[in-house]
Amino acid sequence: MLPDTQPKMTTPSSSKPEIEPISPEAASKILQTALEPYIADGWQLLDQSAYAARLTRGMRNLDIRVDLLGQVEAHESGLTPLQNSGRLTAWVLLLASLLVALALASALGII
């Protein structure tokens, strides 16, 4: 039992929250509008959801997010280590297949 000097605890009211989050459909529309100038500028879309998208161009990544209030924020960063290793692997496979094609053409007497 609480002493009389303590304030009585009240239960939180189940009233409607003051801030109403936007729906995924509305966030998707806001995101599409935000992406249009970047895609027109040459950025390539890597991944997209209702609330976020990742674009890449050259050695840079661009993350665009729509928060639950509908505000758009963009953050530019460098490539991730996984992207760097993937590019290196692609170059190695390309050069190896070129060497195999040259060796095969030489063995068949084409060149």
Query: Do residue 87 and residue 98 come from a single domain?
Result: yes
What is the number of H-type helices and E-type strands within the chain? 2, 4
Query: Do residue 62 and residue 101 come from a single domain?
Result: no
Q: Domain range for residue 25?
A: 20-79
Query: Do residue 71 and residue 86 come from a single domain?
Result: no
- Give domain status of residue 4, yes or no: no
CATH number for the domain including 62?
Answer: 3.10.450
Q: Which residues contact 48 (CB under 8 A, 6 or more apart)?
A: 31, 35, 54
What is the structure's pLDDT at 52? 95
State yes or no: pLDDT of 100 exceeds 80.
yes
Mean pLDDT (the chain) is 88
- Give domain status of residue 3, yes or no: no
Q: Which residues contact 83 (CB under 8 A, 6 or more apart)?
A: 56, 61
Cα gap 80→52, rounded to integer Å? 18
What's the pLDDT tens digit per position in 3-40?
666 666 665 556 666 778 899 999 999 999 999 999 99
Query: Do residue 64 and residue 98 come from a single domain?
Result: no
User: What are the structure tokens assigned to 25, written together?
Assistant: 């459909």
- Give domain status of residue 73, yes or no: yes
